[in-house]
Amino acid sequence: MRVSSFQLVESLPDLKAPHALAVLRPWIDAGNAGTLTLARLEACFDAKELGRLARPGNFYDFTRYRPIMFQKEGTRQITIPNTTVTYCKREAAHDFIFLHLLEPHILGELYTSSVILLLQRLGVSRYCLIGSMYDIVVCGLNGFG
């Protein structure tokens, strides 16, 4: 199933007013804080893949986000950098949508509107961006050593 620029699994799951948790790499992910947090939550809630961008090359410069080639059981494999979406269903509370967003290099407006359309289509009622940024730490000598 296609929703804007995203290719989703064959049919959308029936979600209860899901909350979306997102990380935007690399800009707001210093020390991989957001990525690690989202991965841990996905593991705890046994998240399942919902979809990814159908054509990530429309948004990403692959000289900056490099595809990775490797051998697996004697077969050459390649992973293409992409935005991925997973979900989990919960019994007594809102379901979750997890978004691993890569900062786009081109067509940022289309990328943003695609993410918004996806969240609307999934009926997301609340979202939260998880991450971290580098900053200057200043230590003063005002009686604090």
Q: What is the pLDDT of residue 85?
A: 95
Residue with tokens 């290099």: 105
Q: What whole-number distance in Å separates Cα of residue 65 and Cα of residue 128? A: 24
As a whole number of angstroms, the distance between CA 57 and CA 131 comes to 24
Which CATH number goes with the domain that contains 72? 3.40.50.10900
CB 22 within 8 A of CB 124: no
34 and 131 Cβ atoms separated by less than 8 Å: yes
Q: Is 78 helix (H, G, I), strand (E, B) or coil?
A: strand
Q: Is the pTM of this model over 0.85?
A: no
Residue 21 within a domain: yes
Higher pLDDT, 135 or 31: 31
Tell me: the pLDDT tens digits for 29-76? Answer: 888 889 999 999 999 999 999 999 999 888 988 888 888 888 989 899
- 141 in a domain, yes or no? no
Asked whether residue 105 is domain-assigned, the answer is yes
Domain count along the chain: 1
Strand, coil or helix: 104: coil
pLDDT in tens, 75-100: 999 888 999 999 999 888 899 999 99
Residue 136 lies in a domain: no
Does residue 40 belong to any structural domain of this protein? Answer: yes
Position 64 in a domain: yes
Residue 143 has pLDDT above 80, yes or no: no
Q: Is residue 74 part of a domain?
A: yes
115: containing domain: 2-129
**pLDDT at residue number 52:** 93
User: What is the number of other CB atoms lying within 10 angstroms of the CB of residue 113?
Assistant: 13
Whether 62 is in a domain gets the answer yes
43: its two tokens: 């593991």
